[in-house]
Amino acid sequence: MTPVLELADVTFRRDGKQIIDGISLSVHAGEHWTLLGPNGAGKSTLLGFCAAVQFPSSGTVRILGEQMGRVDLARLRHSIGHVNPRHRLQYSLTVREVVLTGITATIDIPMRWTPSAAEIARAEAMIDAVGLTHKATDGWATLSQGERGRTLIARALVAEPKLLLLDEPTTGLDVAAREQLLETLDSLDETHPDVASILVTHHLEELPTTTTHALLIAEGRTVAAGPARETVTTDNVSAAFAHPVVVGYDEGRWTARAKATRIIDV
């Protein structure tokens, strides 16, 4: 089966500095990857390759079997849903209108564009899927951070992508809002079983229970990659973050805490 996404020995240099150094990754339909690493590890750059908005300095990127550099990127991006909490949207839009901009891949409803009945129905279905039907006509500016996060997920899914990218989607959320958003992500395993996803974070507590695989990076290099339970471990996370931590796993969720240091009085 052709991977949804394939990175082969990609590198990236900026101003003479090596940002990404020989990372490979293969993501198949229905897999849910997490990209873990400390700040400055190269996660955002790597996600730029996955989103078809950044070319590597060397190596190849294939998305849906198409190689970057040999395909119309605008067309390819319509098969990629991107959830970025820092994405700028028009504050005058309602939840329904924000979701509809996922079809046009714009930050506003284009002039002289009218969504079809089928497109409106699809937007309503996505709004319902993230639990915001009662907020469909509310303005973007009135939403909580958690409601905005769920709206952006609906916006990303309305175009029926094959690949879903989530760039630190729980940024700025309190515990309750974070859990609501993670429940929404977990539900996608049933509502969109063929969609592959990559979630970027540096907090283990933010991983959905449906996470299947993990790629840990540090200083632009792979520390570990593979099935999540085998990869997100005390040794690998400690190596990636260059700090001794203890990783816990319970009922599908991970935790991380600093390794206790004994203090002995002399």
Ranges in the chain annotated CATH 3.40.50.300: 1-79+162-181+189-266
Question: Taking residues 6-35, what's their average pLDDT?
Answer: 94
Reported as a single tens digit per residue, the pLDDT across 105-124 is 778 887 888 889 999 999 99
Distance CA 178, CA 173 (A): 6
Q: What's the confidence (pLDDT) of residue 265? A: 55
Question: Taking residues 246-259, what's their average pLDDT?
Answer: 92
| Homologous superfamily of the 1-79+162-181+189-266 domain (CATH) | P-loop containing nucleotide triphosphate hydrolases (3.40.50.300)
- For residue 56, which amino acid is it? P
Strands 80-83 and 196-201 come out as unpaired
DSSP bridge partners of 122: none
Q: What's the confidence (pLDDT) of residue 90? A: 67
The model carries a pTM of: 0.90
Compare 1 and 240 and report the one with higher pLDDT.
240
Residue 262 has pLDDT above 60, yes or no: no
Residue 69 has pLDDT above 90, yes or no: no
pLDDT band of 240, cuts 50, 70, 90:
very high
Compare 79 and 34 and report the one with higher pLDDT.
34
Q: What's the confidence (pLDDT) of residue 78? A: 83
> Helices 145-157 and 175-191 sit at what angle, rounded to 10 degrees?
20
